[in-house]
Amino acid sequence: MTEPYFFDLSLGDLTALLTGWGEPAYRARQIWHGVYRSLWPDPAAFTNLPLALRDRLAEELEFSHLHPQKEQRSLDGETLKVLFHLPDGNPLETVRMRYLKRRTLCVSTQSGCAMGCAFCATGQMGFRRNLSAGEIVEQVVYFARRLAAHGERVTNIVLMGMGEPLHNYDATLEAVRRLNHPEGMNLGARRFTLSTVGLPDAIRRLAREDLQVNLAVSLHAADDELRAEMLPINRRYPIAQVMEAVRDYVAHTHRRVTFEWALIRELNDTPEQAEKLAALLRGLPAHVNLIPLNPTAGYGGQASDRARAAAFQQALERRGIPCTIRLRRGIDIQAGCGQLASHH
């Protein structure tokens, strides 16, 4: 029988486990603080616990599911990508990006992805399995430990690594709550951005959660014909349904929504697409993130050049839509948006 995995336990679960062992309830909080605040890696580090309890924790709990296999650092040193294998051999990748004042993690919620987006390397590899809440959380703790060694800390988390977060809804939201927990890492909900291809029912459900996370919708095209070519999920959930769910989200949360747009030369970077996009977003508290396409082996499209990207941005701004061209990070190590997939 497999031992319970520590990161899949809530504080209540851990308390119940320890009291079942005959330990006082306060021991659970000591262990919780040790892992999530002091970032101790295993029971041997818990010198505030009796030796017998440390030994039992080591024997009866698994303290890691993430086995690092390979890491790549960008030439500028600002981006680090780590490939992990899970106990069942499935891969996942996590990326740390260093900015002037931020240390952002791009975290995976699935191994592979079922959405099949044409230009996304994870979509091209297919779906392996959902990650558990603990496997999502452990990615953050792993990098928090590495950052702490340099006197730094995680400031932001984007759930836009491998997988569609809303396709693994319960585990994703449980992971966010665990990382947000005031007794643990206590990362503010507004430091999380959840990126989705647009699953309407899940967006409506998210609107009714008591979490002020940021929502990003990967739109990439402003008409159904083009979007269905790029994102097959659009055949099931056309743009009108996605936008209706987004308006419902805004009505309930009063929060701004970000729309992601991978700029592909002469495909979706045209004046016509900019005009249609502006019409779709009119009246919404919205912001558009333009991301010149990151290359993947399975897609032949080319990134928009600087002039076409700037023209698209200006066309939106003239129509009153706030818009930025995102700084591309980690392209030389295939760590940019849409590039995460394991070939090892």
Q: Which residues contact 145 (CB under 8 A, 6 or more apart)?
A: 39, 41
Q: Of how many residues is the chain composed?
A: 344
Task: Give the 3-state secondary structure of residue 301.
Answer: coil
- Res 43: pLDDT: 95
What separation, in Å, do the N-terminal and C-terminal C-alpha atoms of the chain show? 29
Write the pLDDT tens digit of every residue in 83-120.
999 999 999 999 999 988 899 999 999 999 999 888 88
pLDDT at position 251 is 97
Domains of the chain: 6-60 (1.10.150.530), 67-333 (3.20.20.70)
Residues 292/325, Cβ–Cβ less than 8 Å = yes
pLDDT in tens, 49-84: 999 999 999 999 999 999 999 998 988 888 999 999
Decide if 174 is catalytic: no
Q: 106, 117, 120, 337: which one is catalytic?
A: 337
Q: Which of 23, 93, 135, 260 is catalytic?
A: 93
Compute the distance between CA of residue 79 and CA of residue 5 in angstroms, rounded to an integer. Answer: 29
> String of b and e for 307-327 (b: at least 16 CB within 10 Å)?
ebbeebbebbeeeebebebee
Annotation says 120 is catalytic: no
Which pLDDT value is given to residue 124?
80
Q: What is the pLDDT along the chain (344 residues), one digit of tens a residue?
A: 578 999 999 999 999 999 999 999 999 999 999 999 999 999 999 999 999 999 999 999 999 999 999 998 988 888 999 999 999 999 999 999 998 889 999 999 999 999 988 888 887 888 999 999 999 999 999 999 999 999 999 999 999 999 999 999 999 999 999 999 999 899 999 999 999 999 999 999 999 999 999 999 999 999 999 999 999 999 999 999 999 999 999 999 999 999 999 999 999 999 999 999 999 999 999 999 999 888 776 777 888 999 999 999 999 999 999 999 976 554 544 545 545 565 55
3-state helix, strand, coil in the chain (%, to 5): 40, 20, 40
